[in-house]
Amino acid sequence: MVAEHVELALFEQSLGNIEGLNRPFCDRVADAAEKTAGSVLFDVRVDGDTWVQRMAAIGYGETGTAIIVMEKNGHLRCASINGDTALLVAELAAWK
């Protein structure tokens, strides 16, 4: 359910784009976190990947975490994090 809330906030942002210009990824992630009562855990550029150029996480305490990925074509994707990948998110959040 966490990812769906973030996805909705990002969708609302896309409707508000002025003259088709997208805001920077970090601004969009921060805005989505604020609108969904979360906090940005990390926002990193992904070098050398075929499909992904940016990745960020928004944390919601005990509720969970959402990952936002920006593909090379500019499309954003959201997903909730499960227990298996929570350690990786924690490591990236500590590294930022």
**What pLDDT is attached to residue 74?**
84
pLDDT digits (tens, 9 = 90+) for 33-68: 888 889 999 999 999 999 999 999 999 888 888 899
HEC readout, 9-67: HHHHHHHCCHHHCCCCHHHHHHHHHHHCCCEEEEEEECCCCCCEEEEEEEECHHHCEEE
pLDDT digits (tens, 9 = 90+) for 11-41: 667 645 555 667 888 988 998 888 888 999 9
The DSSP bridge pattern shows strands 65-71 and 76-80 to be antiparallel
**What pLDDT is attached to residue 7?**
80
90 versus 16: the higher-pLDDT residue is 90
Run of H or E residues at 78: strand 76-80
Q: How far is CA 55 from the centre of its chain?
A: 6
d(CA 14, CA 6): 13
Task: Evaluate if pTM is beyond 0.85.
Answer: no
